[in-house]
Each structure stands twice: as structure tokens, then as C-alpha cells.
Amino acid sequence: MPRQSIAIVNYGMGNVRSVQKAIEYIAPNDNVFISDDAKLIGDSDRIVFPGQGAMGACMQALKKHGLTDVIKSCAIDRPFLGICLGLQLLFEFSEENGGTKGLSIIPGNVVKFQDNNLKIPHMGWNNVEQVTKHPLWHKIENNSRFYSVHSYYVKECDHGVVSGVTNYGIKFTSAIEKDNIFAVQFHPEKSQQDGLQLLTNFVNWNN
């Protein structure tokens, strides 16, 4: 495969350095870069969209950096990987911060874990059940464990986009797929060998 450019979207709300290091490790010949420049992101071959923190602050940061339009356009026409809040932001609405509108790329809503017996945030290693045979699951055993940190989850969405589920008091959506979009609630860059395999699959994915 010819050298390709992989843009990691930087709007000040993601663990971008660790994501960059992980992708550089599995794709040393590719141009893996961090950017908040809409043109550079728009010219790249693949997009990684990470996110951490509160949904409201993330949406404000995306607008401040002028990145909402380029994310929406890139999500239509090239391989696109959302990580953690980068999954939640793809949806229409989140309960977080008193109610926050997302990017509305995928229909659905994000809600907070409500079970008082659960430790919130959901933090640590948990199994992901693969409910579709997607190329990004290649060489990853079903029910493999990935590392998560989050207090909100996707509750209401089209079942046709669900690619992975995790049990934490309830079964919730932990991976989604739609056309050239794949997004995960967990952190592949913190999930050791299976996380690196997922990133490898993304780098090699020809959707």
C-alpha cells in the first residue's frame, strides 16, 4: 500500500499523543499527524476522531476550531475512526451538560448510566461482544477485553449500526459501524494487543 496520510483531529479534548504513538507504531511508513487545520484534515486519507471530557465542552471546542463541517464531510467519504467521546459526538443528542446537541451524523441519543449500584464512570477493562463481522474485528477474538472510561453511553440508535456491545449493569453499544465510519466507546490505544490490532485493521481498511 502506498504511503497514506492519517489525520488525528485535535480540538484540545482528546488523548491525541497516545493515539498518534499507537498508530505510528503499527503504521511506521504512513504520515500520521495531529492537526486542528480543517484543510489538512480534509486532504488526509483517513481520519481518527478521539475525544475525552464533557460533551458540551467538546462541541464548543469543535466549533471554536472550525472543525464541525470538515468532520461531517470526511465521515461521508473516507475511512473514519471515532474513539470514546468521538463516538458519542457522532450522534444527535447527549444528556450531558443539561443536554447537548451532537454532530447528528448518525441518528441516536446518549444517556448517563443510572444504576446506583454501578461505579461511575465505567472505568477499566471490559469485554466487547462483536455483533457484526466487520473488517475492524479482523484477528480480534469475540468478547476480547478493551479499556474504557466513560459515564455516558449510546442508548437510542438504529440497531443496524451496532457492531459491538458491552455489559455493565446493562448491555450498551460499545462499537458502531456505518458505511466508512467505525467508532468505539473504548480506547484502542490503551487496550494493548487487541487495541493495536483494531488500529492496524483501520489503517488497512478499504471500505
Hey, which residues are catalytic here?
84, 187, 189
Radius of gyration of the chain (CA): 16
Instruction: Return d(Cα 140, Cα 156) in angstroms, integer.
Output: 27
Contacts for 196 with CB less than 8 Å, ≥ 6 apart: 22, 25, 26, 188
Task: Classify strands 5-9 and 31-35 as parallel, antiparallel or unpaired.
Answer: parallel
- Burial of 55 per CB tally in 10 Å (0-12, 13-18, 19+): buried
Residue count of the chain: 207
- Per-residue burial over 139-162, b if 16 or more Cβ lie within 10 Å, else e, is ebeeebbbbbbbebbbbebeeebb
C-alpha–C-alpha distance, residues 56 and 62, integer Å: 10
